[in-house]
Amino acid sequence: MAYAIKAPARYVQGAGELDNLGLNTKKIGSKFFTIVSAGGQKRFGDRITASLAATEGHTAVFATFHGEATKEEVAAMIASCGDSGCDAVIGAGGGKVLDTAKAVADSLNLPCVIIPTAASNDAPCTGVAVLYNDAGVVVKALMTKHDPELVLVDTELIAAAPERLFACGLGDALSTFFEARACHKNGVKCMARGQVSNTGLMMARLCYDILIRDGRNALDAVREHKVTRAVENTVEATIYLSGVGFVNGGLAVAHAVNDGLAYEPQCHDMYHGEKVAFGVMTQLVLEKGDPAEFDEVMAFMKATGLPMTFAQLGIKELNHENLHKAAEIAAGPKESARNLIADLTADDVYNAMLKADELGRKFLGE
Ligand SMILES: [Zn+2]
């Protein structure tokens, strides 16, 4: 089978880079439908307007995001974007703002500019828009026709976001290499609609190497809202390499475990990257690989506070029925866990999660 590679058209990252938005969007459009929360507009809306206005005639039309990327919210945004006569869409904010911007741009065939304000997951650099219902449950993952035209990351905004969000990004990025390695080995078709290329695998590996080298120091700096070299490197790993690495590298057990844990109500307060991180441990148990590699992963998770045990995932009382349901979902016929082991069973995942919890407790000295 052929291999394929897919990525945003352009990626820009640096401290204070939001003020260069206008320079970077000169050729993308002139009237920008800008989706942002009320709080976001207050914090940096003026900077967006000023930066765009540096080019004569370039303006922003702000649209306030109300909190959920639902079909209704997206439909309303599409109508209002259409009425506005804008020729490009900007999404500036967290994952749900970005998903909404991607869906609006896709529907109207407009170029999309993505400005993430946190480095908490893989959303910015992918052409996937996840839509939810009012209760916050995922109803659809829309594959857009094009990847974002520009992803602009201002590392000062990223370092100003809560430390836990930054750690979640480390968790999501921790999975990228292990999942890509499984997909590469097993000849799986990835989201770029081809087999995993050497490039895809290499990006995923670089993501992991940067995390292990700089991730801890970066988290320490973000705790004090500082942008250091380690922060810049780590943001490149968590926003660019992890996103593009997953699109071109594929998913396996770690993300399937995240999907399964949605069925354990005690985990509801956990973020995507936190559940994925526990999924990495589950995958490594199933792979029965190099113990030194497992130790390196656990040392990283311990140092960055990522959940290594059920207790850290918010599971106060182990409910075997819920956990088995989570394992069933994770091992489902359409789940990415099958990319690691084609005939994986729910019991395999269930036992691997129990083992991961046991190893995590041991590693933490509990
Ligand atoms: Zn993810």
Ligand 1 centroid, distance to 122 Cα (angstroms): 5
pLDDT at 327: 97
**Interval 183-207: pLDDT, tens:** 999 999 999 999 999 999 999 999 9
Q: How confident is the model at residue 136 (pLDDT cuts 50, 70, 90)?
A: confident
Chain mean pLDDT for the chain: 96
CA–centroid distance, residue 174 to ligand 1 (Å): 10
Task: Indicate the burial class of 156 (C-beta count within 10 angstroms; 0-12, 13-18, 19 or more).
Answer: middle
Could you tell me the pLDDT band of residue 237, with boundaries at 50, 70 and 90? Answer: very high
Q: What are phi and psi of 114, to 5 degrees?
A: -115, 125
Q: How many CA atoms does the CB half-sphere of 81 hold within 13 Å?
A: 30
Instruction: Reply yes or no on whether the pLDDT at 160 is more than 80.
Output: yes
Please give the pLDDT value at position 256. 97
Q: How far is the CA of 169 from the centre of ligand 1 (A)?
A: 9
pLDDT (average), residues 98-112 = 97
**3-state DSSP assignment of residue 190:** coil
Ligand 1 centre to CA of 55 (Å) is 37
Going from the Cα of 157 to the center of ligand 1, the distance in angstroms, rounded, reads 21
pLDDT at 239: 98
- Quickly state the pLDDT bin for 149 (edges 50, 70, 90): very high
State the average pLDDT over residues 249-272: 95
Which residues, in sequence order, are CB contacts of 353 under 8 Å at separation 6+?
A: 257, 278, 282, 323, 326, 327
255 and 121 Cβ atoms separated by less than 8 Å: no
Domains of the chain: 11-159 (3.40.50.1970), 164-363 (1.20.1090.10)
| Residue 67 or residue 267, greater confidence | 267
pLDDT tens for each residue of 9-23: 999 999 999 999 999
Distance CA(287)–CA(312), nearest Å, equals 23
Q: From the CA of 335, how far away is ligand 1's center (Å)?
A: 14
pLDDT recorded at residue 309: 98
- Of 131, 165, 188, 154, give the one whose Cα is nearest residue 342: 188
- Chain segment 278-328, per-residue pLDDT in tens: 999 999 999 999 999 999 999 999 999 999 999 999 999 999 999 999 999
d(CA 108, CA 106): 6
Residues 6+ away with beta carbon under 8 Å from 157: 18, 44, 115, 117
Structure tokens at 101: 């911007």
| Cα of 255 from ligand 1 centre, angstroms | 6
Spacing, Cα 273 to ligand 1 middle (Å): 6
Ligand 1 centre to CA of 54 (Å) is 36
pLDDT number for residue 56:
95
- Round to whole Å and give the CA distance between 340 and 252: 6
Give me ligand 1 centre to Cα 249, in Å: 12
Residue-level pLDDT at 208: 98
Amino acid 135: pLDDT: 74
Strand pairing of 88-93 and 128-132? unpaired
If residue 143 lies in a helix (H) or strand (E), which one and from where to where?
strand 138-143
Instruction: Please give the share of the chain, as a percent, with pLDDT higher than 70.
Output: 100
Q: What is the pLDDT of residue 102?
A: 97
- When computed from its CA atoms, the radius of gyration of the chain, rounded to whole angstroms, is 20
CA nearest 322: which of 314, 179, 344, 359?
314
Task: Give the integer Cα–Cα distance in Å for 110 and 179.
Answer: 32
pLDDT per residue as tens digits for the range 4-61: 999 999 999 999 999 999 999 999 999 999 999 999 999 999 999 999 999 999 999 9
**pLDDT confidence tier of residue 366, bands split at 50, 70 and 90:** confident
pLDDT of residue 74: 95
End-to-end, the C-alpha distance of the chain in Å comes to 48
- Alpha-carbon distance 211 to 169, whole Å? 10
For residue 269, the CA-to-ligand 1 centroid distance in Å is 16
Task: Tell me the CA–centroid distance for residue 40 and ligand 1, in Å.
Answer: 24
Query: How many CA atoms, within 13 angstroms, populate the side-chain half-sphere of residue 76?
Result: 10
Task: Return d(Cα 359, Cα 279) in angstroms, integer.
Answer: 13
Contacts of 244 (CB under 8 A, 6+ apart): 6, 7, 8, 125, 126, 203
Q: 46: CA distance to ligand 1 center in Å?
A: 32
- The DSSP 8-state label assigned to residue 120 in this structure reads S
Which pLDDT does position 274 carry in this prediction? 98
**pLDDT at site 335:** 93
